């Protein structure tokens, strides 16, 4: 039978680098669930369509400092599903 989320509870879908000098890099009430796997968010390239909590500075730079979307354990599948879109916008 096909699992809905085959990545759930798998080691490859979660990594928490608690010894990192920046851990956690975003404010969280649940550091035990803070996923460092996507330390640099792959969804950044999707601009306004990333689905995260971002804003743009006056100079037009995307500011994701309040966003925890890539760091929540349950969002691994969401990010992986978006890779096809990232591939499309980066195609030469």
Query: For position 68, what pLDDT does the model report?
Result: 95
pLDDT band for position 66 (cuts 50, 70, 90): very high
Average pLDDT of 60-76? 95
Q: Is 70 exceeded by the pLDDT of residue 42?
A: yes
Model confidence, pTM: 0.84
Q: 55 forms bridges with which residues in the sheet?
A: 63
CA dist., res. 44 & res. 80, Å (int):
13
Residue 11 in this model has a pLDDT that exceeds 90: yes
Q: What proportion of the chain, given as a percentage, has pLDDT over 90? A: 86
d(CA 25, CA 27): 7
């Amino acid at each position: 039978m096909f699992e809905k989320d085959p990545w759930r509870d798998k080691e490859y879908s979660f990594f928490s680098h608690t010894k990192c000098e920046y851990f956690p890099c975003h404010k969280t009430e649940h550091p035990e669930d803070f996923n460092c796997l996507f330390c640099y968010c792959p969804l950044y390239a999707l601009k306004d369509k990333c689905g995260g909590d971002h804003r743009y500075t006056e100079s037009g730079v995307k500011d994701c400092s309040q966003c925890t979307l890539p760091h929540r354990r349950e969002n691994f599948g969401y990010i992986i599903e978006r890779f096809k879109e990232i591939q499309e916008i980066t195609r030469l």
